[in-house]
Chains A and B, each alone.
Chain A
Amino acid sequence: MTKIVLSLSLVALLAGCSSSGTWGWYVIDPTTKSGWINITFLVSGMWNTILISVIAAAISIVVGLIVALPGQSSKRGWRIVNRVYVELVRSIPLLPMLFWVFYGLPIIFKSMGMNVPIDPFWGAIITLAISDSAFTAEIYRSGIQSIARGQREAAQTVGLNYFQTMRYVIMPQAIRRILPPLANQFIYIVKMSAFASVIGMQELTRRANELVVTEYRPLEIYSLLIVEYLILVLIISAGVRWLERRMGSDERQ
């Protein structure tokens, strides 16, 4: 169904390509040589958008778990560490954090005598991963908390230590409730990755901006940009739904 709607809207958009008037679809008309070159230029940003999103999500999944676990501790100090991280990171808007990481962090490294250049690629990934990890940690927290306390107690009475309890008892049950919202969170990362364009990362949005500057056709180019994100996100949400169905059927048996 989504595929049909998608291809129809694409056709509708492209249908105006050759018409005159206020529209100037010629900039991305695949039937002309220059239009085709423009399209390939725009779409080639896709690879970087996917790459930084996937790497950032992978880091966020690990960091989120590391942040979430102390939140479950019986020791108050550990819980405070978790709260401070989550509240702090969650309240920093992505764009300022991106500037801070890209322009600020290298200065901190330099003052510590280390020469760690941060390029747009890693600057974007670090920012997205940190920013997302606070949300990931909260997803883990709710998933782990949804497992009854008796499970942890039973694990303790058969001699399992903390990590064995997490690994063999809590996480296998919690993962069914964690995975779907985690996958959903990936959609946010993909969309937020557009901010990476402002530090010069050659991804979808940056490519569109650059083409707009030379072609002066913002309406058509940004329309195509939106469609590009739409396609990406629809593919991911189809994946999320598949995952939810799978997890759901596991739960029932």
Chain B
Amino acid sequence: MAQAAIELVNVNKWFGDFHVLKDISLTVGTGEKVVICGPSGSGKSTVVRCINRLEEHQNGTINLDGVELTNDPKSIASIQGEVGMVFQQFNLFPHLSVLDNLMLGPMKARGLSRSAAEEKARFYLERVRIPDQADKKPAQLSGGQQQRVAIARSLCMEPKVLLFDEPTSALDPEMISEVLDVMVELAHEGMTMVVVTHEMGFAHKVADKMIFMDEGEIVEHGTPEQFFASPKTERCRTFLSQILKH
């Protein structure tokens, strides 16, 4: 098998005395889609934030494409832009137009010319189906449109891996599907994705692997089929019954 895109081995992290991640081990192959779910405070966002170094883990190892994440600035620099991230709160740059949001990374971090960056930006705006919003400010867009811009912004860096941290949790219900549609397309095109979400329909459709976390541990993992049909643990059963009830 080819080298794993992401590999976590016995990763531990504490916030002060609070043990947020307990011996997390997880392998994501290139092109694989992994969905992480679990109750709030279970550490699922923290896992994702450790993978792109927004948080530091205290022990264990995290490898990206065989390169270990360390405090070495070179290691940090090597992953920046390689691991895209879509946030719950979009985090678009409010002072820049949609187009400039997309062009900033490619121009400043990748050194692309303005015209090359703009071409790329327009290409990915087309992909997320909002080419006509290029010159607007983020605040003029709906939540669903903003999140699609955020996805396009990540894609402009042509990352090896795309992380999603509850991408639809801040959206009004009627806008969730337009974002999920874009994510499903990306999944079908072979992007390596790690998605923290409670959208079980999406998980069903695209996940190669399901992870259920609770209190900082990976409680259960498996294919979506076995995960949804026959959860092994009581905690997972309870969780699934709660979110699937409606």
Q: Which residues of A line the B interface, CB within 8 A? A: 148, 150-151, 153-161, 164, 168-169, 172-173, 253
Contact = CB atoms under 8 A, between A and B. Distances in A.
20 contacts: A148-B89, A148-B91, A150-B87, A151-B93, A153-B91, A156-B53, A157-B54, A157-B83, A157-B85, A157-B154, A158-B104, A158-B105, A158-B154, A159-B81, A159-B109, A161-B80, A168-B104, A168-B108, A169-B104, A173-B93
B146 to A, nearest CB: 12
A161 B53 CA distance: 13
Nearest to B109: A159
Given A153-B54, A154-B87, A160 B93 contact: no
A102 B234 CA distance: 76
Contact of B108 (A153, A164, A253): A164
A159 B87 contact: no
A168 B91 CA distance: 14
Contacts of A153: 54, 85, 87, 91
A161 B84 contact: no
Contacts of A154: 85, 87, 91-93, 150, 153
Contacts, number: 66
Contacts of B229: none
Interface string B91-126: 111110000000011001110000000000000000
Contact-residue bracket for chain B? 20 to 34
B35 interface: no
Instruction: Tell which of A150, A157, A168 has the most Cβ of chain B within 10 Å.
Output: A157
A164 B110 CA distance: 12
